[in-house]
Structure 1
Amino acid sequence: MIKYITITHAKQNNLKNISLKIPKGKLTVFTGISGSGKSSLVFDTIGAEAQRQINESESSFARMRMQHYGIPDVERIENLNVPVIINQKRLGGNVRSTVGTATDIYSSLRLLFSRMGKPFVGYSNSFSFNNPLGMCPECEGLGYVQVVEVDELVDKDKSLNEGAIKFATFQPGGWRLTRYVDSGNFDNDKKLKNFSKKEWDLLLYAEEQKPKHPTKDWRKSAKYIGLIPRIKTAFLNREIEHRETIRVSLEKVIVTKACPSCHGQRLAPKILSCKIKGKNIADCTMMTIEDLHAFISTLHSDTFDTILQEIRRKLQYVMNIGLQYLTLNRSTNTLSGGESQRIKMVRHLGNSLVDLLYIFDEPSIGLHPHDVMNIANIILKIRDKGNTVLLVEHDHDLIRLADHIVDMGPGAGKNGGKIVYQGDFAGLKQSKGLTGACFSEKTSYNKHPRTFKEVLTITKASLHNLKNISIDIPKGIFTVLTGVAGSGKSTLATKVLPFHYPQVTIIDQSLPAASYRSNLLTYLDLSDEVRKLFARANKVSDKLFSRNSEGCCPNCKGLGIEKIEMAFMDDIEQICDVCNGSGYHPKVLQYLYHEKNIAEIMEMTVHDAGAFFPKERFRSAFDTLIELGLDYLTLGQRMDSFSGGERQRLKLTRELSGTDKIIIIDEPSNGLHPSDTKKLLKFLNVLVDSGNTLIVIEHNPDIIAHADWVIDLGPGAGNAGGRVMFQGSVKDLLNSKKSLTANYLQNRT
Structure 2
Amino acid sequence: MTTDDSILLRGVRVHNLKGIDLDVPLDKLIVVTGVSGSGKSSLAFDTLYAEGQRRYIESLSSYARQFLERMDKPDADLIDGIPPAIAIQQRGAAKNPRSTVATVTEIFDFLRVLYARIGIVHCLGCGRPVARDTIDGMITELLREAAGTRAWITFARPRDAGLAPLRKDGFTRALVAGDIVDIEAVPKAVRALDVLVDRIALGVDDRERLADSLELGLKKGEGRVVVRTEDGREYRFSEKLECRSCRLPAEDPYPNLFSFNTPHGACPECHGFGDLAVIDEDKVVPDRSKTLDQGAVEPWTKPLSRGMQKELLTEARRRRIPTNVPFRDLRPEHQRFVFDGGDGYYGVKGFFDWLQSKKYKVQVRVLLSRYRTYVACPACAKTRLNPRALSVRVKGLNIGEVVRMTVAEASAFFEGLELEPFQRQVAEKLVQEIRGRLRFLMEVGLDYIALDRMTFTLSGGEAQRISLAAALSASLVGTLFVLDEPSIGLHPRDNHRLVRILRSLKDIGNTVLVVEHDPDIVRAAEHVIDMGPRAG
TM bucket, shorter chain: 0.5 to 0.7
- State the distance in 2 between where 1:103 and 1:232 align: 38
CA deviation after TM superposition for structure 1 residue 157, in Å: 4.1
Measured at CA, do residues 92 and 232 of structure 1 come closer, stay the same or move farther in structure 2, by a change above 3 Å?
A: farther
The C-alpha deviation readout for 1:453-490, integer Å capped at 9, x for no partner, is: xxxxxxxxxxxxxxxxxxxxxxxxxxxxxxxxxxxxxx
Indicate conservation of the 8 Å contact 1:105/1:311, yes or no: yes
Match of 2:20 in 1: 18
Task: Summarize the alignment of residues 284-299 of structure 1 with structure 2, pairs less than 5 Å apart.
Answer: 284-297=402-415, 298-299=417-418
Q: What is the alpha-carbon distance in structure 2 between the residues aligned to residue 126 and residue 233 of structure 1?
A: 33
CA, structure 1 residues 317+186, in 2 after alignment: closer, same or farther (shift >3 Å)? closer
Closer, same or farther in 2 for the Cα pair 1:231/1:15, shift >3 Å?
A: farther
**Is structure 2 residue 87 aligned with structure 1 residue 85?**
yes
Mapped partners of 2:362, 2:34: distance in 1: 42
1:227 maps to 2:352: yes
Name the CA shift for 1:382/1:404 in 2 (closer, same or farther; >3 Å): same
Structure 2: runs of 5+ lacking an equivalent: 122-250, 320-340
1:40-95 CA distance string (max 9 Å, x none): 11101111121112222223333232123122222321111111222222222322
Corresponding residue to 1:36 among 35, 38, 49 = 38
**In the alignment, what sits opposite 1:365?**
488
CA distance in structure 1 between the aligned counterparts of 2:460 and 2:318, rounded to whole angstroms? 51
Residue 128, structure 1, aligned to residue 234, structure 2: no
The answer for the alignment partner of 1:401 in structure 2 is 524
2:378 aligned with 1:260: yes
Q: 1:150-169 deviations in whole A, cap 9, x for unaligned? A: 4532588457xx877634xx
Show the counterpart of 1:71.
73
Question: For residue 355 of structure 2, what is the amino acid of its counterpart?
Answer: R
Match of 1:20, SS? strand
Instruction: Check conservation: 1:138, 1:259, Cα contact below 8 A.
Output: yes
Equivalent AA in structure 2 for residue 132 of structure 1: P
Return the match for 1:300 from 410, 419, 423: 419
Query: Contact 2:266 / 2:385 at 8 angstroms: preserved in 1?
Result: yes
Do the aligned partners of 1:357 and 1:388 also contact (CA within 8 Å) in 2? yes
User: Alignment partner for residue 100 of structure 2, among 98, 101, 123?
Assistant: 98
In 2, Cα distance between equivalents of 1:261 and 1:327: 21
Report how many aligned residue pairs link the two structures. Answer: 376
Superposed, which structure 2 residues align to 1:463-612 within 5 Å? none
Partners of 1:4 and 1:151 lie apart in 2 by 63
Q: Which residue of 1 aligns with 2:461?
A: 338
Q: Is residue 2:278 matched to residue 1:166?
A: no
Tell me which residue corresponds to 1:148: 279
- For residue 359 of structure 1, what is the amino acid of its counterpart? V
Match of residue 512 from structure 2: 389
Partner of 1:61: 63
CA shift at 1:350, angstroms? 3.5
Report the aligned-residue RMSD. Answer: 3.1
Code of the aligned partner of 1:378: I
Counterpart of 1:323 (choices 446, 454, 468) is 446
- Where 1:74 maps in the other structure, the secondary structure is coil
* Partner SS state of residue 91, structure 1: coil
Residues of 2 paired with 1:372 and 1:233: CA distance? 53
What is the deviation of 1:4? 2.0
How far 1:397 moved relative to its partner? 0.5
Match of 2:470 among 347, 353, 357: 347
Q: The residue matched to 1:90 in structure 2 has which SS?
A: coil
Q: Displacement of 1:232 after TM fit?
A: 8.5
Equivalent residue letter for 2:298: K
Q: Is the 8 A contact 1:158 1:192 kept in 2?
A: no
Distance 1:359 1:151, change over 3 A: closer
Residue by residue over 1:356-407, the C-alpha shift from the partner in whole angstroms, topping out at 9 and shown as x without a partner, is 2111111111111222111111211222233222110011011011122112
Match of 1:555 in 2: none
2:484 alignment partner AA:
D
The alpha carbon displacement at 1:228 in A equals 4.2
Q: Does the 8 Å contact 2:32/2:40 carry over to 1?
A: yes
Q: Give the drift of 1:299.
A: 2.4
> Quick one: percent identity of the two aligned structures?
39
* Compared CA separation, residues 17 and 308, structure 1 to 2 (3 A): same
Q: 1:379 aligns with which of 502, 510, 517?
A: 502
Distance 1:228 1:285 in 2: 33
Q: Give the match's secondary structure for 1:275.
A: strand
Deviations 1:564-619 (A, max 9, x none): xxxxxxxxxxxxxxxxxxxxxxxxxxxxxxxxxxxxxxxxxxxxxxxxxxxxxxxx
Q: CA deviation at 1:171?
A: 5.5
CA contact (8 A) 1:338 1:364 kept: yes
Structure-2 separation of matches of 1:75 and 1:195? 84
Taking the aligned partners of 2:24 and 2:30, their CA distance within structure 1 comes to 7
Q: What CA distance in whole angstroms lies between the structure 2 residues aligned with 1:47 and 1:343?
A: 19
Contact 1:137/1:268 (<8 A) preserved: yes
Letter of the 1:50 partner, please give it. Answer: G
Higher RCO by CA contacts (8 Å cutoff, separation 6 or greater) = 2
The residue identity in structure 2 corresponding to 1:166 is E
CA contact (8 A) 1:109 1:281 kept: yes
How big is the shift at 1:231? 5.8
- Give the letter aligned to residue 271 of structure 2: E
Q: Is the 8 A contact 2:115 2:253 kept in 1?
A: no
Conservation of the 8 A alpha-carbon contact between 1:157 and 1:193: no
Q: Is the 8 A contact 2:274 2:382 kept in 1?
A: yes
TM-score, length basis structure 1:
0.46
Contact 2:279–2:349 (CA under 8 A) maintained in structure 1:
no
8 Å Cα contact 2:28/2:506 also seen in 1: yes
Q: Describe the shift of the 1:72–1:186 C-alpha distance in structure 2 as closer, same or farther (beyond 3 A).
A: same
1:9 aligns with 2:5: no
Instruction: Report which of the two structures shows the higher radius of gyration computed on alpha carbons.
Output: 2
Cα distance in 1, alignment partners of residues 262 and 76 from structure 2 = 47
Unaligned runs of 5+ in 1: 207-225, 418-749
Shift, 1:5, TM fit? 1.0
Distance change (3 Å), C-alpha of 1:195 and 1:391: farther
Structure 2 length as normaliser, TM-score? 0.64
Q: For the Cα contact (< 8 Å) 1:10–1:18, is it kept in 2?
A: yes
8 Å contact kept, 2:86–2:480: yes
Q: Matched residues in 2 for 1:387 and 1:189: separation?
A: 69
Q: In structure 2, do the counterparts of structure 1 residues 189 and 273 end up closer, same or farther at CA, with 3 Å as the change threshold?
A: closer
Deviation of the 1:261 alpha carbon = 1.5
Question: Partners of 1:91 and 1:338 in 2: how far apart?
Answer: 10
Taking structure 1 as reference, are residues 322 and 187 closer, same or farther at Cα in structure 2, changes over 3 Å only? closer
One-letter amino acid of the structure 1 residue matched with residue 410 of structure 2 = L
Q: Write the deviation string for residues 253-280 of structure 1: whole angstroms up to 9, x where unpaired.
A: 3232221222222221222121122111
Alignment of 1:373-452 (within 5 A): 373-411=496-534, 416-417=535-536
Shift of 1:3: 2.3
Q: What do the CA deviations read for 1:118-145 (whole angstroms, capped 9, x no partner)?
A: 1165201101122211122111122221
Q: Deviation string for 1:495-522 (max 9, x for gaps)? A: xxxxxxxxxxxxxxxxxxxxxxxxxxxx
Aligned to 1:280: 398
Q: Is the 8 A contact 1:158 1:191 kept in 2?
A: no
Inter-CA distance 64–171: structure 2 relative to 1 (3 Å threshold): farther
Match of 1:310 among 422, 433, 455: 433
The question of whether the paired residues in 1 share the 8 Å contact of 2:295 and 2:309 is answered with no
Superposition deviation, residue 331 in structure 1: 0.7
The code of the aligned residue for 1:408 comes to M
- State the alpha-carbon separation in 2 of the partners of residues 200 and 394 from structure 1: 68
